[in-house]
């Protein structure tokens, strides 16, 4: 990213103002300008516990499913962090297991806000995010809002419980058809009815049918 010093000052000020100061969101520390490369360097909070994706991989290697108590533990922290962003009218746009970090103390934090955007008029149109977690409205190139993040959280919650994303296919066309239909295999029967119900509520094809973080 090539910047003039004036652009740097504007950007760093904007980043500071957009920071969501919440225990479940990666903290913005500072920014500095590297003269040699004319690059803006952003310093973020360090999470020494890895990410949720690697946590899921560890359960796969053990051939075990995640205990329900742990699933709820992570899910509740995701929702709390996302609520802070949504209260600031910020849509994350790339919620996925690899963007959910864990501190050495076990606290989950939403990270990788590179594609986050303020929804000033309530709706966004730019297609972005990761295909497995993208909402039906994003896939169909329709306007979307914070409810698109809710769908992505549903995908992560399903993945925590089953160790796989809810919608998988051999090609993008097949993935599109599965996501826009909203059909997925049920969670393991060992999980509670409450968990089954929450997944069902989050993975509603119609955005207005999905709950808010609150």
Catalytic machinery residues: 94
Q: Is 128 left (phi over 0), alpha (psi -120 to 50) or beta?
A: beta
Query: Which positions ≥6 away from 167 have C-beta within 8 Å?
Result: 132, 155, 175, 178, 179, 184
Strands (DSSP E) along 51-102, which ranges? 90-91, 100-102
φ/ψ (deg, to 5) at 83: -60, -40
CA distances from 65 to 3, 49, 175 (A): 47, 20, 24
Q: By CB neighbour count within 10 A (0-12 exposed, 13-18 middle, 19+ buried), where does 180 fall? A: middle
Give the span between the Cα atoms of 135 and 142, in whole angstroms.
10
Q: Report helix, strand or coil for 103.
A: coil
């Amino acid at each position: 990213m090539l910047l003039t010093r004036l652009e740097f000052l504007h950007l760093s000020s904007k980043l500071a103002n957009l920071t969501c100061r919440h225990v479940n969101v990666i903290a913005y520390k500072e920014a500095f300008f590297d003269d040699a490369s004319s690059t803006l360097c952003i310093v973020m909070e360090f999470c020494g516990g890895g990410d949720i994706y690697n946590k899921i991989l560890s359960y796969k290697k053990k051939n075990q499913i995640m205990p329900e108590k742990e699933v709820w533990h992570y899910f509740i922290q995701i929702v709390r962090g996302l609520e802070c962003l949504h209260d600031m009218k910020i849509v994350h746009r790339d919620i996925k297991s690899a963007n959910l970090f864990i501190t050495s103390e076990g606290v989950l934090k939403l990270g990788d806000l590179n594609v986050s955007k303020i929804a000033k008029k309530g709706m966004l149109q730019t297609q972005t995010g990761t295909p497995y977690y993208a909402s039906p409205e994003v896939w169909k190139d329709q306007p979307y809002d914070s409810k698109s993040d809710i769908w992505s959280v549903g995908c992560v919650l399903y993945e925590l419980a089953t160790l796989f994303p809810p919608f998988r296919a051999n090609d993008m066309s097949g993935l599109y058809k599965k996501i826009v239909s909203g059909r997925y295999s049920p969670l393991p029967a060992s999980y509670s009815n409450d968990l089954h119900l929450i997944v069902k509520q989050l993975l509603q094809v119609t955005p207005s049918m999905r709950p808010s973080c609150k």
